A and B are shown apart, each in its own frame.
Chain A
Amino acid sequence: MKPDPDDYLPLAPATLHILLSLAEEPMHGYGIMQEVLRQSGGRYNLGPGTLYDNLQRLMKQRMVEEVAGPREGENSRRRYYRLSPLGRGVLSQEIARLEGVVHEGRVRLRSLKPRRA
């Protein structure tokens, strides 16, 4: 039975950032941490323990897959990860959910603005 992406929502912030980092191309762990740091504007500094704990769980849930890295170069020994179709679907659903949250938030916040006389 094919899993439903909605079953995994809502995503934790760390999970969301990790999936978002892998949305464009496969990355290794250190690259994911750097990308999360960049996405959050330096506010969310993911540690290795937290990162690999999430990757472990995401791979078990088949949202992330391990792929072969480049054969040569300084990162040849590192493991690379990419989004699986399920992971991409979950991320899409989460983004859509967040868009709804943002829209609702903007509406609510707009209604609270004081009107000019």
Chain B
Amino acid sequence: MLRWLYIQFIWLHPAPFRWRFGDDMLDDFERARLRDKPRYFADAAVSLARQWLLRPEFQQSEAAAATAAASPQAAGVPLFQTIETYKPRRAALLHGGLLALLSMLAVVTVIGMGGGVARPFLIGAHFSRPGLLPIDRNSVAASDLNTTVTPAPDPVNAWLKLARPYFLSMPVLRALDTDGDFTLSPWEIANAPAALRSLDSQHAGKVTAEECGLHIDPDSVPPETPAQLRRQFMSYHPVLAALDADHDGEISAGEIGRAAAALKKLDRNQDGYLTADELVPLDLAVRARLQ
């Protein structure tokens, strides 16, 4: 405790005096007998006043004292400590500033070029450029942006648009579709025999190809051809092909009686209804791009 207090007295002396004699003063204090120590404190107090009041010529700057402290003689002295005054060399500061400037310049240049190896830097660019997207441009046509995209038509409306003229041109379908919705319902299918008999204009008990809508000019075709045309006609239209089970070119009385069962074979989705996509010939649907 006494030693610490005496150190404080020494610490209060002017720096040049403290650095030059402080160590010896403390050593003298430690050598002194205990009964002499109060006198040492009194002496230190008087010395303190004398140094500050009567010895201004010995008071050098603190910087000079710090320089003295850095001398080898002061090494290892536990009494006096200095705050570190290290400063980087001017050359080091200059090199650091130059390096920072070059690095910043390189980054700005790469960002300004906007592409190549610098794509990672292009996130958030204000203007669109080909280099912004890391994609293979050869796989994309140059006119992509000018292509007009047309939405696909509604398939239901498209089938109705195709079914309307087809139903109207087919006497059998007009007879079967009693409600005119271009769809054969289960009731209409069940009523098919009666509807077919209504087409038998000659009351022969059968429905011929001509009664189903075939028109043959006898003057323009050979005499043996009409039978073949009738078979082709009957086999071309799905609903007639289903009704003419024996493919003889006409719907016989027996086939009229089995008409409901024959029509049910056309119900591909088994929903009980025959819709346009199940009744229109395939080539018409393909021509209308519905198949």
Q: Which residues of A line the B interface, CB within 8 A?
A: 28-30, 33, 45, 47-50, 52-53, 55-57, 60, 77-79
29-47 of chain B: CB within 8 A of chain A: 29, 31, 36, 39-40, 42-44, 46-47
| Stretch from B48-56, B126-134, B136-144 contacting the other chain | B48-56
In the bound complex, CA of A53 to CA of B47 (Å): 7
- Cβ contact within 8 Å between A48 and B55: no
Q: Which residues of B line the A interface, CB within 8 A?
A: 17, 20-21, 23-25, 27-29, 31, 36, 39-40, 42-44, 46-48, 50-51, 55, 57-58
From B17, B20, B27, B44, give the contact of A30 (CB < 8 A).
Answer: B27
- Cβ contact within 8 Å between B46 and A50: yes
- Chain A nearest CB from B222 CB (Å) reads 142
- Cβ contact within 8 Å between B58 and A47: no
In the bound complex, CA of A52 to CA of B47 (Å): 9
Is chain B's binding surface mostly helix, strand, loop or mixed?
Answer: helix
Is chain A's binding surface mostly helix, strand, loop or mixed?
Answer: helix
Chain A residues with Cβ below 8 Å from B58 are 56, 60
In the bound complex, CA of A50 to CA of B28 (Å): 12
- Chain B nearest CB from A67 CB (Å) reads 13
In the bound complex, CA of A52 to CA of B25 (Å): 8
- Cβ contact within 8 Å between B28 and A30: yes
In the bound complex, CA of A60 to CA of B51 (Å): 15
In the bound complex, CA of A49 to CA of B55 (Å): 13
Chain A residues with Cβ below 8 Å from B51 are 53
In the bound complex, CA of A30 to CA of B58 (Å): 22
- Chain B nearest CB from A49 CB (Å) reads 2
From A33, A56, A60, A77, give the contact of B21 (CB < 8 A).
Answer: A56
From B20, B24, B50, B57, give the contact of A48 (CB < 8 A).
Answer: B24
Chain B residues with Cβ below 8 Å from A30 are 24, 27-28, 31
- Chain A nearest CB from B276 CB (Å) reads 116
Closest to A78 in B: B24
